[in-house]
Structures are given as C-alpha cells and as structure tokens.
Chains A and B, each alone.
Chain A
Amino acid sequence: MLKISIVIPFYNERIHLVSVINKIRSYQKECEIVFVDDGSTDGSYELVASEIKESKIHLLQLPVNLGKGAALLAGCDFSFGVLGASYVILMDSDEQHSIEDIQIFLNRIKQGDTLILGIRDLSEMPTLVSLVNSFASWFLQLLSGVNIPDIPSGFKAFDKEVFKLIQWDGGKYDVELVIARKIALKKIPFSTVSIRTIYHDYPRGMTALDGLKVVFRLMGF
C-alpha cells in the first residue's frame, strides 16, 4: 500500500486555511496531510492547531519565517522521514490550487509515475504572469534542452527517490525554479497533469518583476 502525504505550507493565510482544511479532510483515508507554518504572525498557526483534531492531519511550525522552500523541505523531511511516506504531493494553501485536483495526482501515482507536475492553462493567467511563465520555460529549455511547462506551479508530486535528486536548499518563492532546474539538468523523467487555473485578485507568488530572478535562478545562482 502506497503511503502518500500531502504537504501544504502556509504563511499568514488565515482567510483561506479553514476552507482548505475542511475540503482536504476528505482525503484522509488515502493520505496523511501535513500543514507547515512558515513562521506566520497573523495567528494562522493557532487557527490550524485549533481546527485539526484528526490523527492523520499534522502540523509543523517553523519558529521563524524562512520562505516557502524551507517550509516545503520541512514538510518533505517529516513526511519521508517520520511518517514513512513513499510519495508526497505539494500544494499551496491560498486556494489557488483546487483540492479536487489532488485526485488526478493520486491516479497518476497509482499508475506508477514518480514525478508529476501540475500544469495550468497559460491562457487563463494574467498576461504579464503568463509572459514570465513562458519565458522561464523557454529559458530553461535553452539551457538544458528540456521543456517544462508552467515552471512556477507549486502543485506537484514525487516519490522518495526523486526527492533525493531534486532536494533544494530553502529559498523563497523561487523554490519552483530551483526544482525545475534540477529536473531539467538531471534529465529526471516527469509526467504532467492539467490542473485548474485559479487566480485571486491580489498579487501573489510570481510577478513580471521576477523576470530577472528567473534568469539568475535557472542559471543556478
């Protein structure tokens, strides 16, 4: 039986967390769920702690804000090391990833895929974000010859062996770029799944201003 863990990092996400927890409860039969607080200051940690009573939902707390990369790393370390998971699914806590899409990843995991990347429809993204996104894929392909669509997407799944190959060292939102670079340069086989494109009306994650960061990160700086 495959042990699957869903890792959800959060930082100051009070407005979305209760909804995420309520929706994700339905996956408890198949997965362990790991919430990772990245040093929130708005009481998000306390909120999650008060909401979860189930033994299959876990909560980690980083005492200081280290960035999404570090929170994901803590979640993966806990899942693979303590829970003995064979797979992890990473997703965001701000409801820009549809909880229902987890089933798509679970199906692919059952089929034996070891690295699954969630891909959104670029045409449904804000224009500037879509441009930076396309540029990142184009630039990485130029460097490595590997085409990874929708690099900034944080919705992905992989097994323990792949985790050892792509293990990143902390970082902020650019952790997705670091992972994509490792996948491309190490030529790790991956499959893609289409996921819903959800954008809130406030700026989050990558913006057009991150164009320069894309270049530096993908080059390994």
Chain B
Amino acid sequence: MSLFQIASLLFAILMAYVVRIHYKKNLISTSEASLWISMWMLFGFFSINPAILTGISSIFYFERVFDLLVVGAFMVLTTLLFFSYFKIKKMAESIEKLVIFVAVKNASQSQRK
C-alpha cells in the first residue's frame, strides 16, 4: 500500500468519525449519517483497491483513474455547493422576514400602549 493510499484511508476514517460526532450531537438524522458513513467507507475501499476503478474509468474513456476521481470529486463538490447556496439563501430570507416581523410587531405593540 502506497503512502497516498494510507493517507486517503486515514482521511476517510477521520471523516467518518466527524460524521459520527455530528450524529451523536443530533445534528444529522440516522439516514443522513448512514449515507455519509457509506460514502466515506466507499472512499476508503477505493483507496485500498484503486484497480477496481480502472474498469469504470475505461467505460467513461478516462485514461487514468486519477482523472475519473478528479471529475467525480468536482461533480460532488459542485452539487454540494449548489444545494448549500440555495439553502443559505432560503435561510437568510427566512431570518430577514422573521426579524422584520418581530420589529414591526414590537413597534405596533408599543404604539397601542
């Protein structure tokens, strides 16, 4: 096993541990935790057995496994970024509506006094 493979495996274990911490703090549901753990286990598995990806690489006409990994990683990151952007935007709008609602409500209450 190469040094890079060992580092990748350790990284996968670390990330699985981070998922566990978030699960223990009730920040993510059981199904979410299962999904993330499975993803990191898969990542660890491919780190140890990169040869398995060679077949997949050839299906998509990638010459090297590394190219497949880079493209895959970019797709995952872009998807996460996309969903995070909309989630944050929606959350900001909700906070804004709430703050304005509270301000107007407080002012109208003091108006009645």
Contact = CB atoms under 8 A, between A and B. Distances in A.
A64 interface: yes
- Pairs of residues from A and B, 3 with the lowest C-beta to C-beta distance, nearest first: A74-B100, A82-B108, A60-B107
A6 to B, nearest CB: 15
A70 interface: yes
A63 B93 contact: no
A196 B49 CA distance: 73
A78 to B, nearest CB: 5
Which size bracket describes the interface of B in this complex?
10 to 19
B96 interface: yes
A96 to B, nearest CB: 24
A82 B106 CA distance: 11
A82 B107 contact: yes
A61 B96 contact: no
Interface of A is mostly: mixed
Contacts of B108: 78, 82
B99 A66 contact: yes
B73 interface: no
Contacts of B104: 60, 74, 77-78, 81-82
A82 B111 contact: yes
Nearest to B96: A170
Which size bracket describes the interface of A in this complex?
10 to 19
B103 interface: yes
A70 B96 contact: yes
B93 A61 contact: no
B103 A61 contact: yes
Given A36-B103, A61-B107, A74-B100, 14 more contacts: A58-B107, A58-B111, A60-B103, A60-B104, A61-B103, A62-B103, A66-B95, A66-B100, A77-B100, A78-B107, A82-B104, A82-B107, A170-B92, A170-B93
Interface string B58-99: 000000000000000000000000000000000011011001
B102 interface: yes
Interface string A39-79: 00000000000000000001111111010001001100110
A77 to B, nearest CB: 5
Contacts of A61: 103, 106-107
A59 B42 CA distance: 57
Contacts of B100: 62, 66, 70, 73-74, 77
Given A74-B104, A169-B93, A170-B93, A62 B111 contact: no
A60 B109 CA distance: 11
A63 B96 CA distance: 10
A49 to B, nearest CB: 10
Contacts of B102: 63
